[in-house]
Structure 1
Amino acid sequence: MKSKGSRKKKLHKPPNIHDVARQARVSVFTVSVVVNKNGNVSPTLRRRVEAAVQKLNYRPNLLARGLVKHETHTIGIVVRDIVNPFFPLLVRGVEDAARKAGYSVLLCNSDDQREKEEQYLELLLSKCVDGILLNKAPGNLSLSLRRLLADSKVPVVLMMRTSSDLKADAVVTDDEKGAFEAVSHLVRVGHRLIALVSGPLSVSNGKARWRGFRKALEAGDLQYERDLVIEGDYHIDSGYSAGLSLLPRRPDAVFVANYLMTVGLMKAADEMGLRCPEDFGLASFDDYPWLSCFRPRLTTVELPKYEIGATAVQILLERISGKRNRRALVKLMPELHIRESCGFMLRKRDSKEDSLARQEKPYAASTAPEFQ
């Protein structure tokens, strides 16, 4: 029977910089210069070091090197729900922009839970990331974590949501304007009784989409009906529950504040034997390539997902390099995509009825503070 000592001797030890120096018959300093590309070395010595690195399969300790330089060239990103189809393209925008700048990305998923979000933020700080991109879960961070972030001096850029407890840069979309345009279109089509399945009103983009809905009703001289507004949580189940509650009241149209809740509402409509757009018009927030494959095709507000991620990285890198001092709020514009679900094909109007579009009041941006 082999002893534990003999087994330990057989454990493979990864090569270090001293092994490379012995193999190449050069100094450790010369190996460091070649590996870090921060000095002049003769072509002969460089080839010997590179050959030794390849032969030994040497991998520099990037973390240790980064700690010496006070940088690790890694960025952490925390998103609320990686299952939500909104996030993959946003993360791709982050990764592409980060890799172009020589950074790697660590991805974390909070599942919309503040406790899990805080655990991941602490983990990223322990990994010595150079910066953090955060799509905030509902609720404020604990005081201890806010202090930890402040003491670490690791820059944070918020994405899609602002938060009253984090005075950080943010990249968001103009959700109020997007909701206003979508609901205004429903009004122009001829819908008069319009329901809303909102996002959580405790978060900035949920509140912004609710404000856009209300402003569009006011601009169209329509009444805001409280019993036709249900607050959801951006998940399928809340859209389904809202559909079961709203659709029996027979609204002319429904505006749903994100795609997943739209899936839930359509499930409820199917169970109730209701058809869109024959029985109700529908407009939703966010667009995806596959939506054109289904009938009816959804009228949606498209959000620039890839650009959100790429822009957030750009701002974060400016923070890391010290090029940015003032706090930034970047608003990217949404785009309305009109398709059959809104019911425009069923509600064609003559030129007299179409005058509603000319009488409609223009969108006026909210005077609410940008950072809440």
Structure 2
Amino acid sequence: MEFTKLSEIELPAAFDAHVHLRDGEMSQLVTPTIRKGGVNQVYVMPNLVPPITTVKQCLEYRHRLQDIEPNVSYHMSLYLHESITPEVIREAKKAGITGVKSYPAGVTTNSSSGVLDYELFYPVFEEMEKQNMILNLHGEVPSTPTNAPLSSTKDSTAITILNAEPAFLPTFKSLHKRFPNLRIILEHCSTAAALDAVRACGPTVAGTITAHHLSLIIDDWAGDPFCFCKPVAKTPEDRDALLQAVVRSEGRFFLGTDSAPHDRGKKRGEDKVAAGVFTQPYAVGYVLDALEKGMQRGVVNESEVSQEGLEGFFGGWGRKFYDIKDERKERIVLRKWKERVVDVLEKDGVGVSVVPFRKGEQTWSVEWK
């Protein structure tokens, strides 16, 4: 495949293994954009307000999403919370729920009910292992409070948004060591260290990579609230390591956009900037754009970009890890720079609006076959 010379690519419809579809008006706005991005199957995050912690809540949420867009397959998750027990896990498995998402307390949007001590959940993880369910990890630790006293120990390190992911990796590795048969995904990897940690684990571990982390570095989000997410984009070296992981994945990494919509007022009109980058309507195109720029910088060789590799990253490897079938067997045709990213996503009768990543720029269009 001579990627840079292509003006058109045909692929199987994508599986996005990490999406935020919210609820209420926001869900009405963003759920219809899933297929526009080239995706027909999604794994849905449970951090609503209140979070999805019961099987009943989860099934009702899926029903609401299906009512909005019935031509998408929704794979659902529970929010790891003190109310989750081994009995809940068994009930969830029977109901067809796919996994459980863990958020360390307070690290990102709607994570205030998150985990403080993973050992408390060891019985839950043991049951998930037995039931062959997936544990999705938001791989960061909370930042050190700004008013915390300086430690007198030489080996202590204050945690900021820049090192929150590397600081979590020992916990990630210890969970895998204790539960080697538990399927674990380190979500939205943002550093070369996270990629190395996944590779060092056994075949029951994988990682997701977002579309926006393939393009962004610190300087981008430092000056633009619409590029600010958790985990934050890091260094150019980290970004380039992620690009290389896409084409050298061998199945260990696959697409999970972490597309996270926020009303545009919450991104720049309040005291704090909401963490999240909205990529859903252009998901596949953004990745293709990032790969081409990686080739231009010389960090990805054109010979490494293959039809097989693209099909794997966009869906094949994720479906295999999640053990889900592509029952729709749909295909998409992408055409280079035939789509302009809208400045604002809005809808008549809906009181929220969202600014997409790379507003106003050109990307690949998606046509369904």
TM-score, length-scaled by structure 2: 0.30
Whose helix proportion is higher, 1 or 2? 1
Higher relative contact order (CA 8 A, sep 6+): 2
Which protein shows a greater Rg? 1
TM-score, length-scaled by structure 1: 0.30
